[in-house]
Every structure is written in C-alpha cells, then in structure tokens.
Amino acid sequence: MASMIHDECSPLLQSSDTGFIVETQQEHKSRWWSIRVMYLTMFLSSVGFSIVVTSIWPYLQKIDPSADASFLGWVIASYSLGQMVASPLFGLWSNHRPRREPLVVSISILVAASCLYAYVHVPASHNKYYMLIARALVGFGSGNVAVVRSYVAGATSLSERTSSMANISAFQALGFILGPAFQAAFTLIGEVGVIFKAIDLQVNMYTAPSLMGAFLGIVNMILIFAIFREHRVDDHGRHIGSINYEFEGMDTANESEEPVDKIAVISSNFLFSITLFIFAIFETISTPLTMDMYAWTRTQAVFYNGIILAAIGVESVIVFITVKIISKKTGERILLLGGLATIWVGFFILLPWGNQYPSIQWGDIQNSTYHNKTFLVSSLSTSENHTVEPTGCPAAQSWCLYTPIIHLAQYITSDILIGLGYPVCSVMCYTLYSKIIGPKPQGVYMGWLTAAGSAARTLGPVFVSEVYTHLGPRWTFGLICGIVASSLLHLVVVYKRLIAFSVRYGKLQQ
C-alpha cells in the first residue's frame, strides 16, 4: 500500500512543458484524498459481490431445494445484469450533476439490497426468486463503478493514469481477497447461527456476509460526504478547477475537437467484456465444480474456495503493483496480449483427462456399474441440522458417468494462471480505454465499458451453468479456450490503433 501512495503523490505540481504551477498544494492534497475515497468505493463495491459468491450455491440449495445449477447461473448473472443497466445511467448522471449524487444513491440501493439478501429465507415459497431480485439490486447499486472510474480518469494526468487505474484495480482485488476470506471466517457461525425472532433475522454463515456488506456501505457514504470533492485535470496535469455541470465539456472544447477513434473504443469494450466473461465463468464454476469433482460438502466448498479466491486476490494485488512498473517500460498493449495468453493456458489446463472418475451421487443406490466401469459411491455427511447431505457428482448430470476427474493439482494450477492473467488484462483495458478517450468527459464512456463488462458477467454465469450442467467440463473449458483465442486474434488486428488520444493527435509523445 505504501508504494501506491508514493506513486500517487510523486507527480510534481509543475507542468512538464512550461514549469509553471498547475495546481496548489491544497488542491493537490484534496484531489488525491478524493481519489482515495474512490479507491475505497471500488473496494466496497467489490466486497459487495465477492463476500457471498462462494456461498450462493449452498445457500440457494438450503432456502429453495427446487433451485438447480442452471438457476444458479441466473442468480449470479443477475448481479451483472443490474450493473449493466445502472452503469450508463449513473455515468450519464455524473456527467451533468455532482458525482456525490449518483454515488450516494447507488450505495443506498446496495445497502438495502444487502439487507434484503439476509431475509430471502423468510418467505414461505419462491425463495429463489427473492434471492435473484436481491442480487440484481446489489448489482444495480454497484453500477457506481462507472462513476468511480470516470472520476479518477478525469482527475489524473496522462502520466498518472496507469498508476491510478492500477490502484483502482488493486483495491477491487482487495475486495475479492477479503470478501471470500470474510465468508470463510463466517463459516464458523454455522448454518443455523443466531436467530433474532423479533425481527425474523437469522445471522448465519450465509447472511452475516451480506449484513457486513450493508454496514460497509454506510461507512462509505459517510466518507463521501466528509472527504470527497470534485476535481479535474487535463492530460498534462493542469488543474481545470470546478465543473459547470450544465455545460460540462465546454471548458475542454479546444482540446477535444478531434474525434475519438471509434474502432479503438469498440475494440476496448470487446476485449474488456471477454476478460470479464471468462472471469465470471471462473467465479461461477468454482463451487459446483469442486463439489462435483471432490465430493465436498456445502460448508467445505464455501470454506476451501473462499481460501482459494482470497489467495488469488493476494496474487492479483501483487500483479497490480508489478504492472505499474513494467508498463512504463513495455506499454499497456503487450501486457494485455500476455495476460490473455496466460488466461488461455489457465483454462486449457482444466480440460479433463485420464481414467480416474469422480464419485457419483446416486442417492439411495449404494453401488452401480455403467458401461463396465465401476464408480465409487459418494459419502454422506451430516450437517448441523442432522439431515443427510449427499455429496459427489450428481448422476442426473450424465457427463459425470464418463468424464474423467479434474485433478486438484490441475485446478490449483489453473487458479494461479487465471489469477495472474486476469488482473493484467483488467487494468490494461481500463488504462488503454481512458487514454483512448482523452480529455472528453468520460462518465458515459465508462458507463459503456462497465455495461459491456456487466453484460459479459451476465452471459458468463448463464453460459457456464447451462453448458457445464448439460455437457460437462470438457465442452465448457474447450469453448472458453476458443473464445480467448479469438480475442487474442482480435487484439493482434487492432494492436496499432490502441493508443492514447493525445498521442494520436501529436499532443504528447508515446
């Protein structure tokens, strides 16, 4: 963290072109404290998603046994669908009004939705649909990431941009670290937990994380009122000053008459959506895959995957800090290419092979033979409420009977590679996109980018749930490898167009 703050404060208060003061010390201090509040907002938005992601599947099974793996995809996708709808709206709002307004409204929605999630077990029926609504509203509230990124893009010079975008992504990764880690810690409460009958609230391993997310949202709103202020600088670092929201953009008209490269904008949105699509698949599949492959119970799957995702988050933070240094020497485009290649290798490793098969969940049948292959019967475990919980790969998924197991070593190696490639692609996409747009107001542009990512996060869980449930991991990960390969080819084709606005029009040297 110390290195992040050092990078933020290192730019001089003088223009590199003229040597004149471009902002006062007070403006500089206020600008960076406001940016840090945006870092925290991104962190808390990330926590709102990740703090329950490993427990959604077992919680869904507990509150509504009629829910299957396909519906799980819709529940997880609903978060991204809500974010996709909200991001352009909040981005447009932030272009014409003080950013504090969309930030506070969005966080208020997130807090209310987190409380709703803690109560989805209360209705007598249709509980799975209440969970779907709760997660969609949490996603809608998280649409403020477009506001966060547009603010940071507008409040930093071109030389500060990569470092600041890396810091945003680092705090987002911290949210992914601490979210699953908190969830893993909350497993100690158990599935029953503490019941407050007066308010029909059950605080257990499933609801405690969402209640914690609501509390953190309230803290975030307090900080926005207390510390956050509006600031804008141009690509050279000159402080533009206060913003006239009625005539937003007129103060930079002389710098932004040239058009933005639409092909570069569309390509950036495409590459970012692919990055989010494949990571959403990875998040969605982790719990059901490990329960199927390794006969883990619900509690074990939540706990172990929480630890794994937390470890990936630690790896991601290290990567974010590293790419800030490397990108100064190599540039963003080559790192994006390398990140996508690493992700491709990570999913390729997950392709099942060999002649060892997963334990099968047969229900009341204790032994069975299929095509002359004898399969082990999964063990039965006893949960806190003393009901038998079946484990293993369900026989209803026919591919379980003929698909080799994905070894734990394969799974861990894949986690490491995806944890390396995803943060590189994420921060490079954001940085390139903000530089391609240049000095124009970026609220709507960032809304489009977030919406593209959210659309991918919506389609990813649905895609993987349907394909995984009906066709199995071989088809799932084979198709993902094909998708990543196509994005690599696209990046090679548009490589020369992904340059900064100021560089394209000769205002800065690359």
Of the pLDDT bands very low, low, confident and very high (cuts 50, 70, 90), residue 104 is very high
Q: Which pLDDT score, from 0 to 100, does residue 500 have?
A: 75
**Positive or negative: CA dihedral 367, 370, 372, 374:** negative
Q: Strand, helix or coil at 358?
A: coil
Residue 391 DSSP label: -
User: What is the average pLDDT across 72-91?
Assistant: 83
On average, the pLDDT of the chain sits at: 78
H runs (alpha helix) in 157-196: 158-186
**3 state SS of 220:** helix
pTM beyond 0.75: no
Nearest-5° Cα angle at 82, 212 to 117: 35
Q: What percent of the chain has pLDDT over 90?
A: 14
With a cut of 70, say whether residue 200 has pLDDT above it.
yes
Q: Which of 10-14, 36-40, 295-299 has the highest mean pLDDT?
A: 36-40
Identify the CA nearest to 276 among candidates 488, 462, 454: 454
Confidence of residue 446 (pLDDT cuts 50, 70, 90): confident
Check residue 107 and give its pLDDT.
92
Does the pLDDT of residue 378 top 50, yes or no? no
Q: Taking Cα atoms as reference points, which of 451, 94, 412, 121 lies closest to residue 272?
A: 451
pLDDT above 70 covers a percentage of the chain that reads: 82
Three-state DSSP class for residue 291: helix
Q: Which two tokens stand for residue 225?
A: 């009122």
Q: Look at residue 237 in the predicted model and tell me its pLDDT.
A: 59
- Check whether 3 has a pLDDT greater than 60: no
Q: What is the DSSP letter of 379?
A: P
Which pLDDT belongs to residue 373? 40
Radius of gyration of the chain measured on its C-alpha atoms: 24
CA distance 506 to 490: 26
* DSSP-assigned states of every residue in 394-435: ETTSGGGGTSPP--HHHHHHHHHHHHHHHHHHHHHHHHHHHH
Q: Using N-to-C axis directions, what is the helix angle for 25-50 and 2-9, rounded to 10°?
A: 140
Cβ contacts of 497 within 8 Å, gap of 6 or more: 261, 263, 264, 267
What does the block give as tokens for 118? 């803690």
Q: What is the model's pLDDT at position 5?
A: 43
Instruction: Tell whether 8 is covered by a domain.
Output: no
Q: What number is the average pLDDT over the span 287-307? A: 83
Q: Which of 479, 496, 461, 495 is nearest to 344 (CA)?
A: 479
According to the model, what pLDDT value does residue 442 have?
Answer: 65
Domain count for the chain, please give it: 1
Domain membership of residue 65 (yes or no) is yes
- Report how far apart, in Å, the C-alpha atoms of 87 and of each of 15, 339, 375, 455, 497 are: 34, 26, 48, 11, 26
Q: Within a domain: residue 377?
A: no
Confidence band for 10, pLDDT divided at 50, 70 and 90: very low
152-175 pLDDT per residue, tens: 877 887 677 777 877 887 787 677
φ/ψ region of 464 (left if φ > 0, alpha if ψ in -120 to 50, else beta) reads: alpha
- Quickly tell me which residue has 């003061």 as its tokens: 21
* CA dist 485 → 86, 285, 339, 481 (Å): 30, 20, 12, 6
pLDDT score for 386: 47
Mean pLDDT of 265-280: 87
Average pLDDT over residues 211-225: 90
pLDDT at 53 over 80: no
Q: Is the pLDDT of residue 348 over 80?
A: yes
Nearest to 436 by CA among 93, 99, 147, 158: 158
Per mean pLDDT, which of 106-115, 156-165, 280-289 is the most reliable? 106-115
Please name every residue paired with 382 in a beta bridge, in sequence order, or none if there are none.
388
The verdict on residue 221 lying in a domain is: yes
Distance CA 86, CA 219 (A): 22
E-strand ranges in 72-228 read: 194-196, 201-203
How far, in Å, are 172, 263, 497 from residue 275 at the CA level? 15, 18, 19
Instruction: Using pLDDT thresholds of 50, 70 and 90, give the confidence band for residue 257.
Output: low
pLDDT at 23 over 50: yes
**pLDDT band for position 103 (50/70/90)?**
very high
Count the neighbouring beta carbons within 10 Å of the beta carbon of residue 358: 21
With bands split at pLDDT 50, 70 and 90, how would you rate the model's confidence at 247? very low
Domain range enclosing 188: 20-356+404-504
Instruction: Give yes or no for residue 241 having a pLDDT over 80.
Output: no
CA distances from 244 to 45, 147, 247 (A): 28, 17, 6
pLDDT at 249 over 70: no
Which has more confidence, 377 or 299?
299
Residue with the bigger pLDDT between 412 and 321: it is 412
Closest CA to 135 of 63, 225, 220: 63
C-alpha 242: how far from chain center = 32
The answer to whether residue 457 is domain-embedded is: yes
| Poorest-pLDDT segment among 49-53, 58-62, 247-251, 404-408 | 247-251
In a domain, 373, yes or no: no
Confidence at residue 478, expressed as pLDDT on a 0 to 100 scale: 92
Q: What is the structure's pLDDT at 388?
A: 61
* CATH number, residue 44: 1.20.1250.20
Residue 257 lies in a domain: yes
Ranges of beta strands (E only) in 300-385 are 360-361, 369-370, 373-374, 380-382
Length of the chain: 510
Reference 82, options 141, 146, 149, 127; nearest CA is 141
DSSP 39: H
User: Which of 18-32, 62-76, 311-325 is the least confident region?
Assistant: 18-32
**Average pLDDT, stretch 166-188?**
77
Average pLDDT estimate for 231-255: 52
Structure tokens at 414: 């894949």
According to the model, what pLDDT value does residue 376 have? 39
CA distance 317 to 233: 27
Residue 239, Cα to own-chain centre: how many angstroms? 32
- pLDDT above 90 for 277: no
pLDDT value, residue 422: 87
Is 45's pLDDT higher than 90?
A: no
Query: Rounded to a whole number, what is the distance in angstroms from the first to the last CA of the chain?
Result: 28
Tokens of 126: 């249709």
Which carries the bigger pLDDT value, residue 510 or residue 438? 438
**Average pLDDT for residues 409-432, to the nearest whole number?**
88
Answer yes or no: is pLDDT of 229 > 70: yes
